[in-house]
Amino acid sequence: MNKLACDVVVIGGGIAGIQASLDLANMNYKVILLDSGPSIGGKMILLSKTFPTLDCASCIATPRMAESTHHPNIKILTYLQIVSIDKHDSSFEIKILKKPRYVDESKCIGCGRCSEVCPVEVPNEYEGGLVPRKAIYIPFPNSLPNVALIDKENCIKCGACERVCPVKAIDRNQKQEEVLIEAKAVIIATGIDLIDYSKKIEYGGGKYVNVLSSYQFERILNATHPYGHILRPSDGKIPRNIGYVLCVGSRDLNWGVKYCSAVCCMYSIKHAIMALHHLHDAEITIYYMDIRTYGKGFEEFYNRAVKEGVKFVRGKVAKIEEDPETKDLFVYLENFDTGKVEIRRHDLVVLAVGIVPTINDSALFKAKLNVYGFIERKLIDVDPASTSIDGIFVAGTAAGPMDIPDTITSASAAAMKAALYIERKG
């Protein structure tokens, strides 16, 4: 078993984990940053632009990812599973299983020639399944590490990748590797997932091809977008009439989660403004219960959307139906302002899907979870980075839905608390 030691283990390499690692490393603490996925970057690196400034998300995230990768005080391990976290007197022991990539990380130069020749195509999870990827692939354009991996379940072992790899990095004999890390403190930054929208069967997500999740639409709007333009999946037609349904699974006592997912109103407004910038004459309607624009510049961003022509309709969408021939969609809603039931036609419908925590295993992560399954903060008002366990801290959306600025603030708070904890233990 491989053994490593550091001051702080940060679990989760999204923007929260990256920020906490950089803050600690710049204070001269040794950090090991762990991510279960094959690349760091989390959700932010896959976003298009950020509200309310419409800054390019990857232009902000990529330099931070690169800085953490090259920082002498940070070691990054990806594509792994946390097996256990045990607390001893003054330290933690974190056991991980590093999964085999079947590509030697130290040799791969990220040229992508292996993917070009691979004959197997499966849905690309990073593009919301809208386009395919190969069985050997680099997760997304600015992945870090920029290294390929083989999806063993779908690989047909044809040998095409081995034949073209210029550095002979393919290694089918790789085995999973156990690593034991000793650390003085732990930061949990495991982030968020989206609710499975296909379970809201009345809305037809996952069934009607032109009903997309907000994540899928986020990818379509991205500069590296899967289609190269905004179009609808069924026929490649440019949508002229897009419907946006808010609170899909959030604030829903019957299905989904009870709480507000905090970012959906704002990212939906962002999507609407961006879509209008691409499709000047399109009609974009947002169906909502309330618009929650609570942050700096948020209300102004909403006003901008109204001014630029986005239509806001206060109402509750009951169901969505598809015209089987045209694949157009009919949205059935109760309009709260008129009190009437309406049916409206759209080329494309986007569902603003609610947010849930990625972890549900408090036994593994040790720290107590709150009623919604996020890591419980010790004292939310005055000590939001501490958890129920001394020496384990929480950063970013692992503690609950929040936007990127709040995530960064929370990550820096967790880094500072971890540093104070280490110094106190001295």
Ligand X SMILES: Cc1cc2nc3c(=O)[nH]c(=O)nc-3n(C[C@H](O)[C@H](O)[C@H](O)COP(=O)(O)OP(=O)(O)OC[C@H]3O[C@@H](n4cnc5c(N)ncnc54)[C@H](O)[C@@H]3O)c2cc1C
Q: Give residues in contact with ligand X (CB under 6 A).
A: 11-17, 34-37, 42-44, 47, 50-51, 82, 189-192, 194, 214-215, 218, 263, 267, 270, 358-359, 396-397, 402-404, 407
Provide the H-helix boundaries in 100-171. Answer: 113-117, 160-164
For residues 17 and 249, which CB has a smaller minimum distance to ligand X in the complex? 17
Residue nearest to ligand X (CB): 14
Backbone φ and ψ of 11, nearest 5°: -100, 115
How far is residue 82's CA from residue 362's CA, in Å, rounded to a whole number?
Answer: 12
For residues 118 and 190, which CB has a smaller minimum distance to ligand X in the complex? 190
For residues 210 and 397, which CB has a smaller minimum distance to ligand X in the complex? 397
CB of 213 to ligand X, least distance (A): 8
For residues 14 and 145, which CB has a smaller minimum distance to ligand X in the complex? 14
For residues 29 and 197, which CB has a smaller minimum distance to ligand X in the complex? 197
Q: How many CA atoms lie within 13 A of 222 on its CB side?
A: 25
For residues 95 and 319, which CB has a smaller minimum distance to ligand X in the complex? 95
CB of 375 to ligand X, least distance (A): 11
- For residue 206, what are the β-bridge partners? none
CB of 183 to ligand X, least distance (A): 14
For residues 35 and 322, which CB has a smaller minimum distance to ligand X in the complex? 35
Nearest to 34 by CA among 227, 250, 190: 190
How far is residue 292's CA from residue 302's CA, in Å, rounded to a whole number?
Answer: 10
Q: How far is CA 211 from CA 68, 155, 177, 198, 240, in A?
A: 37, 30, 41, 10, 15
Q: Which amino acid type is present at position 336?
A: F
CB of 39 to ligand X, least distance (A): 8
CB of 58 to ligand X, least distance (A): 12
How far is residue 129's CA from residue 122's CA, in Å, rounded to a whole number?
Answer: 8
What does the block give as tokens for 410? 């929370």
Is the distance from CB of 274 to CB of 49 less than 8 angstroms? yes
Is the distance from CB of 120 to CB of 156 less than 8 angstroms? yes
How far is residue 388's CA from residue 369's CA, in Å, rounded to a whole number?
Answer: 9
Terminal Cα distance for the chain, rounded = 28
